[in-house]
Amino acid sequence: MTPPATATAADQKDFILSVEGLTVSFDGFKAVNDLSFYVDENEIRVIIGPNGAGKTTVLDLICGRTKATEGSIKFRGKELTDMKEHQIVHAGVGRKFQNPSIYEELTVFENLELSFPRGKSVIGALTFRRDGEVRDRVEEIADLVFLKDHLKTEAAILSHGQKQWLEIGMLLIQSPELLMLDEPVAGMSVAERLKTAELLNTIIHNQSVIVIEHDMKFVEDIAHRVTVMHQGKVLTEGSMDRVKHDPKVVEVYLGH
């Protein structure tokens, strides 16, 4: 594929994420095939496409869980393809998987507290001050993810939607500059979906977000731009309004 027109723009503009010519081959099968896309600061990008299109694999590649066969992933100009998973997290990329991974037996507060980033500047004398700092931050994040009245609730008894929010909160408390969410509203009620859209539209003032989703109403509520994937490639990209009327998109995805 020849580089898209945006490749020129990529040279001039500071995208938070630039993915170029990204390919991964599993025993000869290219799950992601020469994929390029660019995400702006404070953008909510939604990736849609049929099952098996390679969407989850793209997130696996960005977060370092899967190694690219070819291509480049630049986050704030830093090449991620040579970095390990924990280094990528440390660089500011947070990723939520499809199933919530929270500690069921711990409370909401404890789950958030455990996710608070520690280690860099903690020395004994500062611990006391830091406890207050942690508590404030936990409460701030709990409020953001609609769980401030559930701080003492054991995570196991939260609703499925609340568990998803808790996990988003556990990522947000680490202040990632890029947050990636794989099908965050799957299994949520309509009301929970609306609140999740509200949450993403709030946090976007501080970070960029990549979301994989199938719920088109939700996508319309959040997407600044939509990238449609098919067979490991970008089928098309643009505003939701343009993409949903694209005959190619209707044919491979929306028509089903």
Ligand X SMILES: Nc1ncnc2c1ncn2[C@@H]1O[C@H](COP(=O)(O)OP(=O)(O)O)[C@@H](O)[C@H]1O
Least gap, CB of 109 to Mg ion (angstroms): 31
Residue 129 CB, shortest distance to Mg ion, in Å, is: 43
Least separation in angstroms between CB 83 and ligand X = 19
What angle separates helix 160-172 from helix 127-144, to the nearest 10 degrees?
A: 140
Tell me if 57 contacts ligand X by CB under 6 A.
Answer: yes
The verdict on 54 binding ligand X (CB under 6 A) reads yes
Which residue, 142 or 243, has its beta carbon nearer to ligand X? 243
**Min. distance of Cβ 55 from Mg ion in angstroms?**
5
- Of 46 and 166, nearer to ligand X (C-beta) is 46
Contacts with 168 (C-beta within 8 Å, 6 or more apart), sequence order: 96, 145, 179, 181, 184, 199
Query: Is residue 66 within the footprint of Mg ion (CB under 5 A)?
Result: no
CB of 234 to ligand X, least distance (A): 13
Tell me the closest approach of the beta carbon of residue 198 to ligand X, in angstroms. Answer: 25
| Binding partner of residue 36 among ligand X, Mg ion, none, CB cut-off 5 to 8 Å per kind | none
Q: Establish if 55 lies at the interface with ligand X (CB under 6 A).
A: yes
Closest by CA position to 147, among listed 122, 130, 123, 166 = 166
Tokens 């643009």, residue?
Answer: 238
Q: Quick count: other Cβ atoms within 10 Å of Cβ 75?
A: 22
227 token code pair:
């990238």
Answer yes or no whether residue 26 interacts with ligand X by CB under 6 A. yes
Burial (Cβ within 10 Å: 0-12, 13-18, ≥19) of residue 175: middle
Residue from 16, 17, 22, 31 binding ligand X (CB under 6 A): 31
Interacting partner of 53 out of ligand X, Mg ion, none (Cβ under 5 to 8 A depending on kind): ligand X
List 53, 138, 158, 166, residue binding ligand X (CB under 6 A): 53
Instruction: Give the total of residues touching ligand X (CB under 6 A).
Output: 10
| β-sheet bridge partners, residue 35 | 22
Q: Which does 184 bind (CB under 5 to 8 A by kind): ligand X, Mg ion, none?
A: none
Binding segment toward ligand X, per CB under 6 A, in 33-41, 48-56, 75-83, 145-153: 48-56
State in angstroms the smallest separation of the CB of 26 from ligand X: 3
56 binds Mg ion (CB under 5 A): yes
Which residues of this chain interact with ligand X, rule CB under 6 A? 26, 31, 49, 51-57
Which residues of this chain interact with Mg ion, rule CB under 5 A? 55-56
